[in-house]
Structure 1
Amino acid sequence: MKRVLLAPKARSFLLSEASYLRDHNPRAAERFLERMREARRSLARFDQLGFAHDALPINGIRRLIVGDYVLDYFPGDTVMIVAIRHARQSEVPIPTDDIADFESPRPPKLGED
């Protein structure tokens, strides 16, 4: 199973959206968080979910639709989610300024490469 990490802006959106929903409808917040957990579990198993398209702004990025939300991610040994947003915000550009600033993967143990 692959690791699935969040870029800082994706993590920030996830937390702020959960907080906003919790203030207005706690049940909706729990559903949102569960959908995001399930999406991460799915991406950990199948990193080619969603779709790639020439219209996506970064070469190699894929897009996964999860309910009312759009997740943009890079597949690979470690799946990196670079953006999460509500579908109504789908025209918001994918942040490229922090592409290399993902959660740090755990350092390898002695003897691992």
Structure 2
Amino acid sequence: MTVRVFASRLAKAETDEVEAFLEEHSPSAARRFVEAMARAYQLLSEHPDIGTMGDRPGTRRLVVGNYIVSYRRRGENVEIFAVRDARRRDARF
């Protein structure tokens, strides 16, 4: 069973920010990030409970390269609500 995966406005903005930063410094790194995120979306659609438990009840985390994708189940859907650089102090949700 696959579920629909979608990103909140904040997660979309964070993803766009990472991609823009990487594109400026290394287009190949930006391409790898986009591809890794696409694989993460596919993985979450097939296995929505695959990540580790998040700090907040009902949330989970999936490590994608140097980034932590925070998400939660919304009925039959998965909502990605944050994409943070794992090397930063505020990366955990």
Q: State TM-score, norm by structure 1.
A: 0.75
* Superposition deviation, residue 93 in structure 1: 6.3
Question: Between Structure 1 and Structure 2, whose CA radius of gyration is higher?
Answer: 1
Q: Which protein is richer in strand relative to its size?
A: 2
Q: Which residue of 1 aligns with 2:35?
A: 34
Q: Which range is displaced more, 59-68 or 83-92?
A: 83-92
Conserved? CA contact 2:5–2:44, under 8 Å: yes
Conserved? CA contact 1:70–1:90, under 8 Å: no
Could you tell me which amino acid in structure 1 is paired with residue 79 of structure 2? Answer: M
Q: Distance in 2 between matches of 1:92 and 1:20?
A: 17
- Paired residues in the alignment total 91
Could you tell me which amino acid in structure 2 is paired with residue 70 of structure 1? Answer: I
Give the gaps of 5 or more residues in structure 1. 95-113
Q: Which residue of 2 aligns with 1:5?
A: 6
Q: Which protein is richer in helix relative to its size?
A: 2
**Cα RMSD between the aligned structures?**
1.5
CA offset digits 1:84-109 (Å, max 9, x no partner): 01101252564xxxxxxxxxxxxxxx
Conserved? CA contact 1:73–1:82, under 8 Å: yes
Q: Which residue of 2 aligns with 1:73?
A: 71
Give the gaps of 5 or more residues in structure 2. none
Over 3 Å counting, the alpha-carbon distance change for 1:18 and 1:79 in structure 2 is: same
* Superposition deviation, residue 27 in structure 1: 0.3
Matches within 5 A, 1:1-113: 1-52=2-53, 56=55, 58-75=56-73, 76-92=75-91, 94=93
CA offset digits 1:15-57 (Å, max 9, x no partner): 111111111110000000000000000000000011115xx0x
Identical-residue share of aligned pairs (%): 33
Conserved? CA contact 2:50–2:62, under 8 Å: yes
